[in-house]
Chains A and B, each alone.
Chain A
């Protein structure tokens, strides 16, 4: 019997206005693994991650979570994933702590802990429009320190993050996979993580042809 992966993607395709986003893609991610999605700009990395989060519906292909197609275990799947997109879902008019508090829905203390984990302690009560782009990104990343989700989908998590922040995030990812989680992330950076697996988004052959 083949080993059951945490997440398996089979022949996943996405089509919009008769244009394919990328060549059909297959990969599997297991507990304790980090999968880096590579590909040039416009090759469909964000589309792929959004397909995985069910924010988009694939035109063909299946996503299998722990042995079941996600259509059959939607609630369990969505409870187990965390998605961090390009748009960070940080409300500019709320303070850093308020942003995290309502995202986490379990008390302000964990929000303050998460903020100190991303080196933003002392900024708890500063409205996010007064933070720099990198600091705003860190507010979004603080969610990683307060979630129980097993499967993380991170779309360009290193945007606007300084070197220190990158190593902080790498540590966070290492800790997460050590606890048995899995990560699928898209980035152009070279990550200093052992056992990093890679998959590529290949632009579809007749992309551009209408």
Chain B
């Protein structure tokens, strides 16, 4: 059972490594847009600091959304997904492995790059640790929730728009508590509360999303 997890994790990481350019595009998008914000709005640090947590979180969400449909689409096209579906083992474990690989390729680099963006957007010093902590937990949620949407839309030829519409409402709580974590820290309040809620969301997503995605894949593939 665990071997399905690690086998698919390693395979998807290897595939991402072979397509480095494509895999890096969410990160490049994230950094590029966040760099343009001071140019487009204002370079004034006081005003930038106000919007910085929100901007970083919105960009992280969009960057994840940009790449989430690829989690099953390539496997669907070349027939590997069909092979996965007819394997006798539990489907949720390979899906969790694929989602973990997706997070390591998109969510983790975004998390690690966020202090740099914080600096560009004049994020106050007390916001750095909260932004890294909240993104680490939050992007995990985004990948997991996105995997359910990607599973539902995998057999549609142009499922991108539908996928965004499906998962966007589910992303709302993540972004609300994510930016609330950073905002509380900047305003000098305790920020462990919203972060704990993000952690709870991540725990629930790890438990439920692979099962939901497995069900969705079975549902879409039998037709």
| Bitwise interface map of A from 121 to 148 toward B, beta carbon under 8 Å scored 1, else 0 | 0000001000000000000000000000
Known: A74-B88, A78-B88, A83-B86. A92 touches B79 (CB 8 A): no
Known: A74-B88, A78-B87. A89 touches B222 (CB 8 A): no
Q: Which residues of B have CB within 8 Å of A81? A: 86
A45 to chain B, nearest CB (A): 16
| Bitwise interface map of B from 1 to 44 toward A, beta carbon under 8 Å scored 1, else 0 | 00100010011001100110000000000000000000000000
Do B79 and A86 touch across chains, with their CB atoms under 8 A apart?
A: yes
Known: A16-B223, A94-B18, A98-B14. A89 touches B78 (CB 8 A): yes
Do A89 and B14 touch across chains, with their CB atoms under 8 A apart?
A: no
Q: Which residues of B have CB within 8 Å of A75? A: 88
Complex Cα–Cα for A53 and B88 (A): 11
Do B79 and A88 touch across chains, with their CB atoms under 8 A apart?
A: yes
Do A102 and B78 touch across chains, with their CB atoms under 8 A apart?
A: no
Known: A83-B83, A102-B7. A91 touches B88 (CB 8 A): no
Q: Which residues of A have CB within 8 Å of B222? A: 55-57
Q: Which residues of A have CB within 8 Å of B223? A: 16
The answer to the question of B80 belonging to the interface, with a C-beta cut-off of 8 Å to chain A, is yes
Do A85 and B79 touch across chains, with their CB atoms under 8 A apart?
A: yes
CB proximity to A under 8 Å, residues B42-97: 77-80, 82-83, 85-88
B5 to chain A, nearest CB (A): 12
Complex Cα–Cα for A57 and B222 (A): 6
The answer to the question of B205 belonging to the interface, with a C-beta cut-off of 8 Å to chain A, is no
Complex Cα–Cα for A56 and B86 (A): 10
Contact with B86, one of A76, A78, A87, A91 (Cβ below 8 angstroms): A78
The answer to the question of A90 belonging to the interface, with a C-beta cut-off of 8 Å to chain B, is yes
Nearest 4 Cβ contacts at the A-B interface:
A87-B79, A78-B88, A93-B18, A89-B79
Not counting A93-B18, A105-B3, a sample of 15 additional A-B residue pairs whose C-beta atoms are within 8 angstroms of each other reads: A55-B82, A55-B85, A55-B221, A55-B222, A56-B221, A74-B88, A76-B88, A83-B86, A85-B79, A85-B82, A88-B78, A89-B82, A91-B78, A91-B80, A93-B19
